[in-house]
Chains A and B, each alone.
Chain A
């Protein structure tokens, strides 16, 4: 037990990799065995991160379970892991969604071995980003997550997958280039890549690098970070890769894309941009906030304009992540303010943003999965061809309405709590922005009800009259998500306490 606790983060991080190795060793035609092995191995990090969740002490400031070994001495990069309340909650989200996504992929029949192996690598990449405390390995894991997702879309996606996967990778790599450059510059000038050290050293640096004046260096690296993370979130106008990638990816790929990968961008803002560039973030917060509002509104409009079920849900991510970024913008603007009301607002807004990341992970994953359930049965995502499915799939209808309502932000379910916190926090700092996002919130209802109406209501298209009800395996994927949505809606304290402790120390 001591061994596990001492190396907890390392174990969480590499257990999926071990699972991948085992899967790779299996004969490729033992599909059933491979599926179950992959599922089993994805449960290991879940168990470990539950342990992490309960062992994590909210009373202790800073990072916990730190683990640092020299990794590449000449450049001063270390293999440095650590967790605080924000990363712990994101790790939990990742390890919850991964087994569910693997379970959701049991319907995959083509090259199962490769598929599952990629999935486990993907999980490792995402966990690595959330656990890294060193910029070099942060970047490394950032890229590691990219490759499997590219292949998942490119190989197991639907009709337009080549275009979508290329767009996805080009967009993200374009952001990564700047990120890499900025990381180099920072490491060079501060002499370390360790994030906790940089957080104190980097903002205090007084001389420029390589003859470039300090102001320019900081501004360039700030914007390089921002663009990279903005693409990942995504924030308008960097979002057009998302509807294509989400729509063309296989069901489980969309679940992870929306559920976790988008959070990497927001996580980057919170973990790196806010502590490393407090001044620049403060000055540019209004731009970030404005783009967040535009994302929330434009995402909702675009979702409402869809007739493709999956694309509609994809755009809902743009809409929901707008709230996350708005919360971050408020924290950037008002964090550390001496005015108590501003300081309080920044904490509440950032608490809301992190909780919204968690909540959106649950509801978006559930909704993408439910789209997949329909697609598997009808082989269409065209809303105009569906309709009346509630008559033959009563349980599915109930589940879909439940998850849609979580996404709409119905009080009693999770989405409301985080949206309320963001609205409460941002109202005092950015009143106009907050008022404008209400348009997005209103339209959230409009597009989800549109989807419900076209899928469930109306008379049944007789083409689907023998479509089977949602199966036990499919229920097992979505029930845990629903339970979490309800539990956070009724008793948000269990998550928010962990987040709040860190956020309060971060921006308070």
Chain B
């Protein structure tokens, strides 16, 4: 393909869904079939662009593509002087290429699935059906923009547009209320998501401004592929802070990821984001939104790790990523153990898996993080869409049994669905096993194993702080992997195994083909996506250069990352913990399935701990009491009532009253002293006043003219007198 033409292609990737958004909002919002057709077509076109780029990129070879990314820039904003422009553009390099494959595929599946999920052509068709597809399209446009951005500012544009879309979509059922007043409504969840992620965003904005100040550019190529710039940033210290400039910028940028990718302590918004329609959850959890946070730090990794040498002491942002990522992975996995809402379990598993990726970057495993990002996107989209299918089936059951009080999302109300919904069951099983990392078969295994292997390598070979950091990451992630396998088995057991525990599950039935087809596509990738990242020397075998992903995506870095040599210990650990978790889950939830009315078998052995986990360590309550309520109080009472109304206006009113008081006394003086002496003048004045009374007709326009005249005369007099 002609290079000139090809260079235009990256910027075209986000355009079709963006156009779809405007088309639907402005024109087709009343024609529902057209709305969803436009949305689906737009994604297909974007996917087509992505494929063309992929084919061309592959034919160019990773090395060439990395040095000459496909793309274009334009002069977007005059920033100062007459020649200094902020360049804006899109590009495709080897890392983008990986994203261009999985993002549109997953988004296509999600949008296609939504046709069935939002009840097209049925009596349950959603009130705002077209609006849903418009928002999904805008969401897709945001993610595509982020992926093809060739600079940090455009990335931030996509980043924030997705923030808006998640707000709109989480709160899609904006007037929904629950009987239980303590239950988070969609609109509350939407605000929570927007504000919590925005905490990270505003800090990230500082990082962008700082980076821009230091380098005079935001272009990835100019910063990340220029070793001199990186060296400069890594060796200059921030005055008075004892940290390098690259380190501080890295930490500020990473704050954005903590918000966006729901890492501890800003993880609280993601589980509540479940209040949106399920395709939205799939979107947020797999292809877009949370992936964006990880993608950003993968992209910025050369900066975050500036000054780090393979195996050497980690930089400050790396330490932060390693500590927070691994902790989040374990922390979220424990909460997932005690959740009963089918989507909430998945939500916490997402947080944990994102923790894996973040932790991987912390120990320098750049490729492993990117790899896990991709495989995770497939199986998590699959699991969410699967759970949507389950909920749909359960709701059908509720409709059939005329029972609208039983929670259709509570796993304890399910059971035995494998015979009612076989397609959903098999695909969900594949997704669940991929999430657990069932050895050799699933994609999740290959990517997770690579992270464990890398952290083990860092633990054993790392210098300085890298060894303890590697140990921290390795141990926490291994424990978390066991828990993941366990709660996945618990989830599948509770949903599909045993006998139906309520009328809802008894009358559940399989979903329509528009929902099943995406599940099958995603299930295919949940297995095969892992094959592109099998280590060259797996199990000590000489397999040749089969680790395609490593060699290709690795080319995005200036220094091609070395592959680590194979070691049996992390592999065996990985296999062991997975089997341990799966086995435990099997014994507790499959061998003797929970019966109707029975509590979760974990309640008894865990005791008080179960309550704590079930309530997510009370973080929501803590934040509410420590931050939200004080903010409300400060806003309404301190700032508005006391400061503005009380002190500032108080002083004003005091001055006003004092002046008024003085004026009264002056007037008394006037009346009694002066007037007495000039009574005769008064008479003359009254004569005159009779003349003037005609102008006091109470008409506002005349008053106005009069005041204007007097005002002008006064001003004139002042000017005249003062300038003499």
Contacts and interface: CB of A to CB of B under 8 A. Distances in A.
B77 A492 contact: yes
Contact of A410 (B164, B641, B718): B164
Contact of B715 (A140, A411, A427, A457): A140
A508 B206 contact: no
Interface stretch (B41-49, B196-204, B390-398): B196-204
A465 interface: no
Interface string A121-158: 00000000000000010011001000110010001000
B153 A420 contact: yes
Given A184-B723, A304-B631, A423 B209 contact: yes
A152 B76 CA distance: 41
Interface stretch (A43-51, A246-254, A345-353): A345-353
Contacts of A421: 79
Contacts of B712: 140
A298 B643 contact: yes
Kindly name the residue among B156, B163, B194, B209 whose own CB sees the greatest number of chain A CB atoms within 10 A.
B209
Nearest to A405: B164
A345 B213 contact: yes
Contact of A458 (B78, B157, B174): B174
A322 B688 CA distance: 52
A498 to B, nearest CB: 10
B236 interface: no
Contacts of A140: 712, 715
Interface in A376-416: 388, 390-391, 394, 398, 401, 405, 410-412, 416
Interface stretch (B275-283, B512-520, B699-707): B699-707
Given A398-B25, A446-B195, A449-B195, A438 B77 contact: no
Given A184-B723, A423-B209, A147 B177 contact: no
Contacts of A428: 213
B161 interface: yes
Interface stretch (A4-12, A110-118, A357-365): A110-118
Given A411-B157, A435-B206, A458 B79 contact: no
Interface string B131-159: 10000000000000000000001001101
B80 A351 contact: yes
A493 interface: yes
Interface in A263-310: 298, 301-306
Given A347-B81, A500-B78, A240 B644 contact: yes
Contacts of A304: 631-632, 635-636
Given A187-B723, A423-B206, A438-B203, A344 B704 contact: no
A184 B722 contact: yes
Interface string B73-96: 001111111101000000000000
Contacts of B639: 298, 301-302, 305
A102 to B, nearest CB: 18
Contacts of A411: 153, 156-157, 159-161
B171 interface: yes
B635 A302 contact: yes
A430 to B, nearest CB: 12
B78 A188 contact: no
Contact of B700 (A114, A187, A416): A114
Contact of B719 (A136, A351, A401): A136
Specify which of A111, A391, A411, A500 lies most central, judged by the most chain B CB atoms within 10 Å of its CB. A411
Contact of B205 (A77, A118, A344, A420): A420
Interface string B294-329: 000000000000000000000000000000000000
Interface in B621-654: 631-632, 634-641, 643-644, 648-649, 652
Contact of A493 (B78, B156, B632, B636): B78
Contacts of B190: 449
B199 A442 contact: yes
Contacts of B203: 438
B723 A412 contact: no
Contact of B632 (A72, A305, A401): A305
A441 B704 CA distance: 41
Interface in A290-349: 298, 301-306, 341, 344-345, 347-348
A117 B701 contact: yes
Interface string A58-99: 000000000000001011010000000000000000000000
A72 B719 CA distance: 11
Contacts of B637: 305
B229 to A, nearest CB: 15
Interface in A468-508: 491-493, 496-497, 500-501, 504, 508
A180 B212 CA distance: 42
Nearest to B128: A394
A158 B158 CA distance: 42
Given A136-B719, A423-B205, A457-B171, A240 B652 contact: yes
Contacts of B719: 72, 75, 77, 136, 184
Decide if the interface of chain B is mainly helix, strand, loop or mixed: helix
A457 B174 CA distance: 5
Given A136-B719, A405-B164, A504-B82, A427 B700 contact: no
Contacts of B691: none
Contacts of A74: 720, 723
A461 B199 CA distance: 33
Contact of B206 (A240, A391, A427): A427
A167 B648 CA distance: 13
A456 interface: yes
B171 to A, nearest CB: 7
Nearest to B635: A305
Interface string A168-196: 00100000000011001001100000000
A140 B640 CA distance: 34
The CB with the most chain B CB atoms within 10 A, among A74, A457, A504, is that of A457
Contact of A457 (B81, B175, B198, B708): B175
Nearest to A171: B652
Contacts of A508: 80-81
Contacts of A423: 205-206, 209
A372 interface: no
Given A305-B637, A344-B80, A412 B701 contact: no
Contacts of B177: 458-459
B708 A147 contact: yes
A298 B637 CA distance: 12
Contacts of B656: 170
B538 interface: no
Contacts of A199: none
Interface centre among B77, B171, B632 (most CB of A within 10 A): B77
A479 to B, nearest CB: 11
A497 B84 CA distance: 11
B711 A460 contact: no
B267 interface: no
A438 B191 contact: no
Contacts of A438: 202-203, 205-206
Interface in A418-434: 420-421, 423-424, 427-428, 434
A298 B634 CA distance: 10
Contacts of A111: 700
Contacts of B160: 410-412, 416
A305 B640 CA distance: 7
A319 B153 CA distance: 24
A203 interface: no
B210 interface: yes
A391 B202 contact: no
Top 8 nearest A-B pairs (CB, nearest first) are: A305-B635, A305-B636, A347-B80, A411-B157, A304-B635, A457-B174, A301-B639, A457-B187
17 contacts: A74-B720, A75-B720, A75-B723, A136-B719, A139-B715, A184-B718, A240-B652, A298-B639, A305-B640, A410-B163, A417-B77, A421-B79, A423-B209, A427-B210, A449-B167, A500-B78, A504-B81
Given A301-B639, A351-B78, 6 more contacts: A147-B704, A147-B708, A301-B635, A427-B206, A457-B171, A460-B175
